[in-house]
Chain A
Amino acid sequence: MTDATSPIDSLGELMRAAQQGDGASYLELLRTITPRIRQVIRRQRGFAGIAEVEDLVQDVLLSVHTVRATYDPARPFVPWVLAIVRYRLVDGARRYARIARREIHVDEEDVTFSEPATNDDIGEPEDAAALQAAVRALPEGQRQAIELLKLKELSLKEAAEVSGTSVGALKVATHRAMATLRRTLGKRRE
């Protein structure tokens, strides 16, 4: 993780300044180390997709931020950050294994209801217009999440690649968008 443009000492200097609250130095430091972190993660997790790599990169950056007080300015910076990357990769692998063990894949099945009253999604034409208007009124990130996941029916991974956001962020945006739509359309019905 070293080259002529960012020698070890300069990274250490930037971190030292960041520990004193210098946001500009911190920004420069994170921008410098992020491509290197991404490179290390890609090398270690060759099978991971773009979104998963970005998730791990963001995990590492958040960890670096959380434990920045543990950096000793008298010691080199690179071993410090590489140790965090290594441990977070192990945590990520454990988390993945845990989730894979618990999840059961279920094929999507059509659901029908015998009573028309329960088929709430069979609405009047104006409901569709109201829905479109409500979607248009959503904040940019939430609208994009709804369009990609619910209207274009992309998978989370595909939607993350298209939007350039992480799977986690998309999930949050979708959840919030659905809550907003529910509120907006609920008010209209009342």
Chain B
Amino acid sequence: MNTNDLIEDLARGLEPSAPLSRPGRRAAAWLLGAAVYLSLIVVGISVFKVRAPGAGAGLWVSQIAAVVMGLLASRAAFVSVVPGLPKGSRVWAVLAALVWLGTLVAASPPDFDWAAVLGASHEWVCVGFIIVGGAPLMWVLAAMLRRGAPLSPATTAAFAALAVGALANVGACLSLPHANSAVTFAWHGGVVVALVLVAALTGRLVFGWSRRSPPTASGAT
């Protein structure tokens, strides 16, 4: 088919295609759903297991940092599927991730034992929580992102995983007890980094052009 024929074909079969909402608004919609979902899980676990997480200023500071990271990472993911938008949001998301890790390090006891931290086998529950609990969040986020342009699938997937990991980490921290922030830093930080790496490596399978959903006239989010 020559290019002129292609142009005519595309124009002939044109259907209305409502513009997507702005990335910030889409990120906010996803975050709202994620917050409701995680709240239900946290409350559910608290009711059935009645195990309060270790409280303290450090815990809350790192949770706030994680929520901000989730917000900025999800926004960066949504921005990455819109052609022509500036890439500054990626820098902010990475900075937020570093701040989150920094808050965990800062709240860690000065004399913690790395061997004990890495040997904290009960943290596998948190790993499971972040991965299994985060899966529905990732599924919804991926479905929303696939309505955009798959310009750089690895980047999109990495920021999506960072956002999901951040929020699932908050859920795990609020519903399961943790010995100290060093344990959270090593285990939660490790899982989130692993999720980001796996997502970056497999992003093309989910967000490649061949996986792109056709545009529809309905729905703007």
Are A67 and B212 within 8 A (Cβ)? yes
Q: Which has the most chain A C-beta neighbours within 10 Å: B7, B83, B214? A: B83
Within the assembled complex, what's the spacing in Å between the Cα atoms of A20 and B15?
8
**Nearest B-chain residue to A28, judged by Cβ:** B11
B81: CB under 8 A from chain A? Answer: yes
Query: In the complex the two chains form, is A165's CB within 8 Å of B215's CB?
Result: no
Whole-angstrom CA separation of A73 from B20 in the bound complex: 10
Given contacts A67-B215, A69-B20, contact A27 B8 (CB under 8 A): yes
Interface membership of B16, Cβ < 8 A: yes
Say yes or no: B149 contacts A164, CB within 8 Å. Answer: no
Are A26 and B2 in contact (CB-based, < 8 A)?
Answer: no
Please give, as numbers and ranges, the residues of chain B lying within 8 Å of A79 by CB-CB distance. Answer: 83-84
Chain B residues in 8 Å Cβ range of A27: 7-8, 11
Is B82 within 8 A of A84, CB to CB? no
Q: Is the interface of A mostly helix, strand, loop or mixed?
A: helix
A80–B81 alpha-carbon span in the complex (Å): 11
**Does A81 make an interface contact (CB < 8 A)?**
yes
Chain B window 169-211, contacts with chain A (Cβ cutoff 8 Å), 1 for yes, 0 for no = 0000000000000000000000000000000000000000100
Instruction: Output the nearest chain B residue to A80 by Cβ-Cβ distance.
Output: B84
| B12 CB → nearest A CB, Å | 6
Q: Are B20 and A70 in contact (CB under 8 A)?
A: yes
Given contacts A69-B147, A75-B84, A82-B84, contact A19 B18 (CB under 8 A): yes
B51 on the A face (CB < 8 A) = no
Bound complex: CA of A165 vs CA of B4, how far in Å?
10
Query: Which chain A residues border B16 with CB–CB below 8 Å?
Result: 19-21
* Contact call B19/A87, Cβ cutoff below 8 A: no
Question: Do most interface residues of chain B lie in helix, strand or loop, or is the interface mixed?
Answer: loop
- Beta-carbon contacts of A61-103 to B below 8 Å, as 1s and 0s? 1110111111111011001111110010001000000000000
On whether the beta carbons of A71 and B3 are closer than 8 Å, the reply is no
Do A69 and B18 have beta carbons less than 8 Å apart?
Answer: yes
CA distance in complex: A62, B10 (Å): 8
Q: Do A91 and B14 have beta carbons less than 8 Å apart? A: no
Inter-chain contact A169/B14, CB cutoff 8 Å: no
Cα A183 to Cα B152 in complex, Å, equals: 44
Asked if B209 and A54 sit within 8 Å, CB to CB, the answer is no
Q: A57 touching B83 by the CB < 8 A rule? A: no
A residues near B214, Cβ cutoff 8 Å: 66
Measured between alpha carbons, how far is A102 from B212 in the docked complex, in Å? 25
Minimal beta-carbon separation of A5 from chain B (angstroms)? 18
What A residues does B215 contact at CB under 8 A? 66-69
In whole angstroms, how far apart are the Cα atoms of A18 and B1 in the complex? Answer: 23
Most A CB contacts (10 A, CB to CB) among B7, B22, B84, B148 go to B84
Q: Which of A147-171 contact B (CB under 8 A)?
A: 164-166, 169
CB pair B17 A54 closer than 8 Å: no
Contact of B10 among A26, A67, A73 (CB under 8 A): A26
**Contact between B10 and A87, CB atoms less than 8 A apart:** no
Known contacts A66-B212, A66-B215, A84-B83; decide if A61 and B151 are in contact (CB<8 Å): no
* Residue interface mask B121-163, A partner, CB < 8 A = 1: 0000000000000000000000000011101100000000000
Q: A34-B7, A72-B22, A80-B83 in contact; A67/B148 too (CB < 8 A)?
A: yes
Min C-beta distance of B186 to chain A, whole Å: 36
* Cα distance, A130 to B149, chains bound together (Å): 50
Check A67/B18 contact, CB under 8 A, given A87-B151, A91-B209, A165-B2: no
Q: Is B115 an interface residue (CB 8 A)?
A: no
Residues of B within 8 A of A (CB): 1-3, 6-8, 10-12, 14-20, 22, 81-84, 147-149, 151-152, 209, 212, 214-217
